[in-house]
Structure 1
């Protein structure tokens, strides 16, 4: 998969999954949703860590390499395929260690709109059920949407040439697909991951944790939001490896954690 802004997001999600493997000292089971999250499977395969990060998709597949785009729901080389009702019973029962899901809007409280756009027929699909059973949720998507977005990526840096005309970090979402209050009450760890910034859900709202190298915090992040995120300290820099053409080479570190 060629380097792009979408691959940058997928790589950052993959690093978060890698951190879970290191934390638990064992392989993990995850769900990937439609859109950019489904591209995480390509990165996992590229890094050769499929045996350490088992990917499931709501269509019923376990393992293998899930496809993205119009082919979402199909996995190449899956070691098992179960019925959709059984898959969702397992999701709601908490079988997965984490889920990465897409988003249309994030608001000042951390609520997520995953399904409602004014020009489309609304429908959340399996999103709420998957989110309910996942202890860790990584909402993954581009920072802005619409026509006009252009990026330059390489050598460990990201340059925002121009942005899409649609703001995704809004004061209030059009429809709540996942409630920040409920996620906090359930003790979930929630991250909002984009190509230029990473946020964490807190009781006060999204907290800005990381900013991409090469990105101007004021111009490229804060000015493109309808609300001010929580900032308890200077944001850290996102890992430079996700902005390069070479593999991130995370396999050795994960194998070491498994064998420790």
Structure 2
């Protein structure tokens, strides 16, 4: 197996190439040394130019790392990703119309890698219908110069679907923990495994080159075959970065990699304030054994509340990157989880999500509107992208959106959202229960849009709730006050009143074990 430098790997790229990149968010299995080498080469030589960068998850530290290394005028022609939130330099290029920018559902992109690996025509799914990804709206475009249709609306067996077109890859950058002398890649110290195998297979299927960044080289045969995530038959070259950190903020967490179990109750308590109120009210929707996803932003506080209330072990929290159980991380570490029960590859996690495996999804909102639509992908002059939001919100049996009612004095409940990341109408058609939880009031998705069902104690309905909104919601005839315990200092006693619902398999199991 050939071992080369990161600079040598960067020189493999030619003008106009399509580059597949593995990794997630704030440095989770991101081949950062390889991306930095591309950026350095471009600054020194002006090459390569006009690349297409394709990565299912946003990559970066919120500053200049990750995809931010590529945020140089002329280096990129097109970027297709789940989100730009981790790489503001890429978002700026999109806003300035200097790149063709697309943000597509993270799960659909992850699954598309698998379709590309198999040489199938593309991905056929209902995920994204009636959102901005639907070609009847924007087709996932985030810049006017992005004119190619990457997503098509098709009819199959009398139903509407979206068809995500595949890409031909010239080169793929993946990352692992170790490689043996034959190029077999393990990921035992990574916080996530993602779709590294599918990316490597997709590049090989296209006749492309696969370069793997690893922290160390180990002797031939020393990696247990079940620990190999990318077999050496798919790897063309290795780049060794002995200074590779687990994430951008954490050098090596045994809790993230699953090598050590830590007390989940040690999750810090949320300080008083709107975030705590919203998270506590959202946590009231939990029930015994609920399988949940926590989205980024304010909704990650559900884990903190569940730990404080002593119910974290009585529910199952997951994240889209593939962690099941444990305590999902938040902030720049989002995507990892402390002491998960299982870590699976990202495409399979999204198979589970798309198939209705989630009982509850707790997701944040940037704004919601009179139709019940939610926007998290483009607002206030920012391009964020949906990440896994569209897969999660469309696939979950019930959704709880959380956020403050206003931001810097401006309403977040608006007449019409800037971009539709979640369709209220589509949710109503599917009879999907939806709540919108704020620190002042709670709404549910009704027949005609959000309906006000709870108001915080002591607030005036007209001046402090409706007056802070951009539309007048319907008012439930059974309008009630939010539980005063949500605003109290100590625990609210959720452990003593966590609802119990029978397992889905109870009806079949009961006669079998009688």
Any runs of at least 4 consecutive aligned residues in structure 1 with deviations exceeding 4 A, and if so which? 255-258
Question: Hey, what's the Cα distance between the residues in 1 that align with 2:302 and 2:370?
Answer: 27
- CA shift, 1:214, in A, is 2.1
8 Å contact 1:50–1:63 — kept in the other structure?
no
TM-score normalised by L of structure 1: 0.85
Question: Hey, what's the Cα distance between the residues in 1 that align with 2:384 and 2:274?
Answer: 26
Q: Deviations over 1:53-108 (max 9, x none)?
A: 11001121111112222221121121111111111111001111010111111111
Q: Deviations over 1:157-211 (max 9, x none)?
A: xxxxxxx222111111111111111001111000000011000101211100000
Q: Deviations over 1:209-230 (max 9, x none)?
A: 0001122211111111111100
- For residues 209 and 84 of structure 1, do their structure 2 counterparts lie closer, same or farther at Cα, with a shift above 3 Å needed? same
- CA shift, 1:134, in A, is 0.5
* 3-state SS, counterpart of residue 313 of structure 2: coil
8 Å contact 1:65–1:75 — kept in the other structure?
yes
| 1:246 matched to 2:246 | no
8 Å contact 1:103–1:112 — kept in the other structure?
yes
* 3-state SS, counterpart of residue 90 of structure 1: helix
| Aligned counterpart, 1:125 | 387
* 3-state SS, counterpart of residue 221 of structure 1: helix
Structure 1 residue runs without a partner (length 5+): 146-163
**Which has more radius of gyration?**
2
Moved more, 56-65 or 8-17: 56-65
- For residues 244 and 232 of structure 1, do their structure 2 counterparts lie closer, same or farther at Cα, with a shift above 3 Å needed? closer
| 1:176 matched to 2:438 | no
8 Å contact 1:39–1:67 — kept in the other structure?
no
| 1:74 matched to 2:74 | no
- CA shift, 1:252, in A, is 2.3
| Aligned counterpart, 2:476 | 232
| 1:144 matched to 2:388 | no
- CA shift, 1:38, in A, is 0.8
| Aligned counterpart, 1:158 | none
TM-score normalised by L of structure 2: 0.44
Report matched runs for 1:181-196 at 5 Å.
181-196=425-440
Structure 2 residue runs without a partner (length 5+): 1-268, 503-514
Question: Hey, what's the Cα distance between the residues in 2 that align with 1:99 and 1:182?
Answer: 16
Please report the RMSD computed on the Cα atoms of aligned residues, expressed in angstroms. 1.6
Q: Which has the higher contact order (CA 8 A, sep 6+)?
A: 1
Question: Hey, what's the Cα distance between the residues in 2 that align with 1:121 and 1:234?
Answer: 39
Report matched runs for 1:1-260 at 5 Å.
1=269, 2-17=271-286, 21=287, 26-145=288-407, 164-233=408-477, 235-254=479-498
Question: Hey, what's the Cα distance between the residues in 1 that align with 2:387 and 2:497?
Answer: 36
| Aligned counterpart, 1:161 | none
Aligned residues: 233
